[in-house]
Amino acid sequence: MCMKDIEVKNQVGLHARPATFFIQKANEYKSSIWVEKEERRVNAKSLLGILSLGIVGGAKIRIIADGSDEQLAVDGLVKLVESGFAE
């Protein structure tokens, strides 16, 4: 299992459009992937799950992956979040 804490950089957080990019990226990996915010954990491949966390700009989240490509998954998703989703 691999995990990393990160701060969401873009101002609006993970609203519908960035959440969609996040989910598309998560689906590129075979590993099971979750996002945690304040002790709530959701499937990173679920749009409703991600949106239900209400992740706003400046929020701290944890990306967790477990599987054959867990390190690649965490690194790829962290890079996407750090890029600000090109917004």
pLDDT tens for 17-39 read 999 999 999 999 999 999 999 99
Residue 24 identity (one-letter amino acid): Q
User: How far, CA to CA in Å, does 79 sit from each of 8, 76, 83?
Assistant: 11, 5, 6
Residues that are catalytic: 15
Q: In this structure, are residues 50 and 19 in contact, taking their beta carbons and an 8 Å threshold?
A: yes
pLDDT at 86: 65
Q: What is the mean pLDDT of the chain?
A: 94
Burial of 36 (0-12, 13-18, 19+ CB in 10 A): middle
Q: Quick one: tokens of 66?
A: 């477990």
Number of domains comprising the chain: 1
pTM: 0.93
pLDDT band at 10 (very low <50, low <70, confident <90, very high): confident
Q: In this structure, are residues 50 and 14 in contact, taking their beta carbons and an 8 Å threshold?
A: yes
Question: Which tens digits make up the pLDDT trace of 34-76?
Answer: 999 999 999 999 999 999 999 999 999 999 999 999 999 999 9
Q: Name the residue range of residue 48's domain.
A: 2-86
pLDDT at 59: 95
Residue 27 sits in a domain whose CATH number is 3.30.1340.10
Indicate if the alpha-carbon torsion angle 20, 25, 30, 34 is positive or negative: negative
